[in-house]
Amino acid sequence: MKRGPLDILIVGGGGREHAIAWSLRRSPRTGSLYCAPGNAGIAALAECVDVAATDLDGQVALAREKAVDLVIVAPDDPLAMGLVDRLEAAGIPAFGPRRAAARIEASKSFAKDLMRKAGIPTADYVTFDNPVEALSHVSECPLPVVVKADGLALGKGVRICHVREEAVQAVADMMQQEAFGQAGRRVVVESFMTGPELTVLAFSDGRTVVPMVSSRDHKRAFDGDQGPNTGGMGAVAPGADLSPAQEKDLADRIFQPTIDALREMGSEFRGVLYFGLMLTPDGPRVVEYNARFGDPEAQAVLPLLETDLVDIVEAVLEGRLASCDIRWSGRSSCCVVLASGGYPGSYRKGLPIGGLESLEGMQDVLVFHAGTRRDGDGQVVTAGGRVLGVTAVANDLDSAIDRAYEACESIRFEGRMMRRDIGRTHP
């Protein structure tokens, strides 16, 4: 990759992409920065172009038109659809896994089979393509049980069923009613695990895997981990106080074997791999993989990164991650998501957001935009379920949490919804 400033396109337009843009802007190696489609916050850091993340032709054409040196593909859908393959075929370096490797997120059965084959600890499971067989299985398997749609379902394709009727309903919804379209034609039925959850994002060049600071996401809509699942209502980093022995155990039993298994099947993984873990009484187990930075986890983790993100991305693409020195600040962070009233159900859009300017330039406070846009009068308005991620960084987690909540109070929009216990409970 060339030595001078790099012109970079970020694909996506949520809080994660804003955090990536913010991190890239700190690098003296970032030249022109583009984001498609972007949002009102990203527009302060990058030229936003209205091309949907899933418009593969449009994204390739944009990368060509802007003659970028690098594209970072951040969301799951374009990765699963093969945007990285398309960009590479056009001679454009792209950060993110190719379609074959992105199956680790796009197909739950693929991920489970990979883990079984490689001996990576995870819950026992059975995969079904036939609804009658699936219904028969959940009518007699031990409870609780977890029913997962095989494909991508906006984080909503997982049902934890404590009673028989729920399990039967989950299978019927996914396989017969097609609640998630094609994504639910195949289901994975897993045994239930207990223990605190932990996210570890890791950079990989296909051979070396380097975990980032751990994080912890809060997926339920309401305090005390109640209510429906969401994309994530907030995150803290670090997510756990892991001992060096625990870190080594995770690396030896989960992180490295996953990367090796993908490479050995010819699906080398280059990019960020998300390990969704559960620390069960019997040791850590993989709950899920994602083929990208988590959101909101990225909004908590990236502010703690001290190494230049451009250098890391380049090392990944050039297969020399092993010699890249990746450093973290040693501080803590908390990201609280401000969501639209009604989320994750239906919600209003176009509501004016007040108070953003009062947080601009504030030390150790970052406001990442997720669902925002500017209306015709230049006013920033709500444009999605998750609207903003307010991140605070401090020397300890309690201070980061307090500071994030203090900052949230400055931001106003009708129906503003947030959890009050981010970082204070342990999902």
Q: Which parts of this chain interact with ligand GLY (CB under 6 A)?
A: 155, 217, 232, 290, 294-295, 297
Is the Cβ of residue 23 or residue 290 nearer to ligand GLY in the bound state? 290
Q: Let me know how long the chain is.
A: 427
Dig out the tokens for 54 from the structure: 């899933």
Q: CA nearest 188: which of 237, 147, 153?
A: 147
Minimum distance, C-beta of residue 292 to ligand GLY, in the bound complex (Å): 7
Cα torsion at 410, 235, 24, 306 (round to 10°)? 110
Q: How far apart are CA 381 and CA 183, in angstroms?
A: 32
Cβ-based nearer residue to ligand GLY, 315 or 387: 387
- Least distance in Å: CB of 294 to ligand GLY? 3
Residue 163 DSSP class: S
Q: How far is the CB of 212 from ligand GLY (least distance, A)?
A: 14
- Give the burial class of 248: count Cβ atoms within 10 A of its Cβ; 0-12 exposed, 13-18 middle, 19 or more buried: exposed
Question: Tokens standing for 3?
Answer: 């030595």
Please say whether the dihedral angle defined by the alpha carbons of residues 60, 66, 67 and 72, taken in this order, is positive or negative: negative
- Residues with Cβ within 8 Å of 3's Cβ and at least 6 positions away in sequence, in order, are none
CA atoms of 260 and 334, how far apart (whole Å): 32
Nearest approach, Cβ of residue 275 and ligand GLY (Å): 12
> Quick one: CA torsion of 312, 313, 315, 317, rounded to 10 degrees?
170
Question: Nearer Cβ to ligand GLY, position 86 or 386?
Answer: 386
Alpha-carbon distance 284 to 154, whole Å? Answer: 25
Min dist CB 142 to ligand GLY, Å, is 27
Shortest CB 1 distance to ligand GLY, Å: 28
Nearest CB to ligand GLY, comparing residues 60 and 338? 338
Nearer to ligand GLY, 294 or 385 (CB): 294
Q: In what order do the strands lie in the sheet with 125-128?
A: 125-128, 187-191, 145-149, 158-161
Rg from Cα positions in the chain: 21
Residue nearest to ligand GLY (CB): 294
When the beta carbons of 62 and 111 are compared against ligand GLY, the nearer one is: 111
Strand pairing of 220-222 and 216-217? unpaired
Q: Between residues 128 and 343, which has the closer beta carbon with respect to ligand GLY? A: 343
Cβ at position 243, least distance to ligand GLY in Å: 25
End-to-end CA distance of the chain: 41
Element (H, E) at 217: strand 216-217
Q: How far, in Å, CA of 217 to CA of 330, rounded?
A: 19
CB of 418 to ligand GLY, least distance (A): 16
Q: How far is the CB of 231 from ligand GLY (least distance, A)?
A: 6
Q: How far apart are CA 40 and CA 303, in angstroms?
A: 20
Residue closer to ligand GLY by CB (options 370, 381) is 370
Residue 19 or residue 33: which is nearer to ligand GLY going by CB? 19
- Judged on CB neighbours under 10 Å (0-12, 13-18, 19+), 226 is exposed
Tell the smallest beta-carbon distance from residue 389 to ligand GLY (Å). 11
Which CB atom, from 93 or from 389, has the smaller least distance to ligand GLY?
A: 389
In the structure encoding, which two tokens stand for residue 337, read together? 């998501």
* Shortest distance in whole angstroms from residue 49 CB to ligand GLY: 24
Between 6 and 300, CB nearer to ligand GLY = 300
